[in-house]
Amino acid sequence: MKLELEDHQREFAEKVRVFAEEVVEPQADEIDTSRTIPAELIQKLADEGYLGALIPNEYGGMGLDGVSYTILIEEISRACAATGFTLAVHTTTATLPLLNFGSDDQKKKYLPELCKGLAAFSLTEPQAGSDPGSATTKAKLDGSDWIITGRKRFATNGGRANVITLMAVTEDESGKSGVSAFILEKKELEGLKTGNREQLMGIRGSEVMELILENCRVPGANLLGELNGGMKIALNSLDFGRVGIAAQAVGIGQAALDQSVDYSKSREQFGRCIGKFQAVQWLIADTKTEVEGSRLLTRRAGALMTGEPQELSYGAAMAKLFASKTAKLATDRAVQIHGGGGYVKGNPVERLYRDAKITEIYEGTSEIMRMVLVRSLLK
């Protein structure tokens, strides 16, 4: 068992860190305030090859190994959690259904495009969150086309994306109900509208949309994978997605730790820097330990991305559960260490505090993560 990074991974990590610190971090505050990730920044992510991080070389992607992938998302998120999240969703749940389940034609058509611009993934509905089986968006066969009607919520990148992988309820020839995955190209479609954009407490730069489909006609060629085989596609993609979110949480935790250490060394009260007080020291020691633990769990989950699907499922759930809890603790401690100053906008820890909480919720709540783990533990 090797716990050290390979040389190429270490080089990649350095390169990403420089990019994150020089290009992303200076924009993080404005991204949060304006609720916008500038198109130029998305373009830069594309230029660096990051949008195609998990897409093989043959389709124009970077073909990154799992461990390096977690480093990519961690470093970008450490600079800006909203940007990290946007990239994570794009590279996993929005890309991997196509990569893992697409036909050769579909892969050739869409994967190169996904190396250049953001894509989206749409599963959640108003009445279908933790329980995606309660979804009601329906796709009906009409000749060789599909007519889709329904309402989706919380579709990340849903406004900017041209390509959206969307789940809808379908019936097979025998009338059996299931869920199928469809590739929607916004530019080409009538009957697909973006509705409200969510007003979020944190990661405010990310674009999370309502999608409204009214008799939206989708060509038969855009069915992705097998009819009624969509849930498998969604759950498989979410396993990869959870690795990304775990990495995002590690980045947030690390950022909180960095801020805490800096402030503890510089802020003086009672005639000495507050880092001399055991209470503060303990907070930092605990955060450091938990972030390290999170990072190791997350990198292991990254390595499992090329392994057995069940092992990935388990490893990703554990990493996300632990790393998201860590992000919450680390950012809470960071605000506390900063005292009143940490409660004021403009201080990065104020933003980190708001960003952390969602990592315990999206792409499967911590409760769902526990359910996944229990399935293996108590079978």
Q: Is 363 a catalytic residue?
A: yes
Q: Which is nearer to other proteins, 233 or 369 (CB)?
A: 369
E strands in 248-316: 268-269, 272-273
Q: Which is nearer to other proteins, 215 or 376 (CB)?
A: 376
Q: Which is nearer to other proteins, 283 or 303 (CB)?
A: 283
Q: Where along the sequence are the contacts to other proteins (CB under 8 A)?
A: 124, 127-131, 133-134, 153-154, 198-202, 268-270, 277, 279-280, 328, 332, 335-336, 339-340, 342-346, 350, 353-354, 357-358, 360-362, 365-367, 370
CB of 370 to other proteins, least distance (A): 8
Going by C-alpha positions, the residue among 359, 283, 379, 376 that lies closest to residue 81 is 359
Q: How far is the CB of 343 from other proteins (least distance, A)?
A: 5
- Residue 211 beta carbon to other proteins: minimum distance, rounded to whole angstroms: 15
* 348 phi-psi bin (left φ>0, alpha ψ -120 to 50, beta other): alpha
- Whether the CB-CB separation of 67 and 5 falls below 8 Å is answered with yes
- For the stretch 366-372, contacts whose Cβ atoms lie closer than 8 Å and that sit 24 or more positions apart, written own/partner, are 366/320, 366/321, 366/324, 366/325, 367/130, 368/130, 368/317, 369/242, 369/317, 369/318, 369/320, 369/321, 370/321, 372/313, 372/314, 372/317
268 three-state secondary structure: strand
Residue among 72 and 358 whose Cβ is closer to other proteins: 358
Asked if 129 and 276 touch (Cβ cutoff 8 Å), the reply is no
Tokens of 255: 């950022």
CB of 169 to other proteins, least distance (A): 16
**Catalytic pick from 75, 210, 290, 363?**
363
Residues carrying an active site annotation = 363
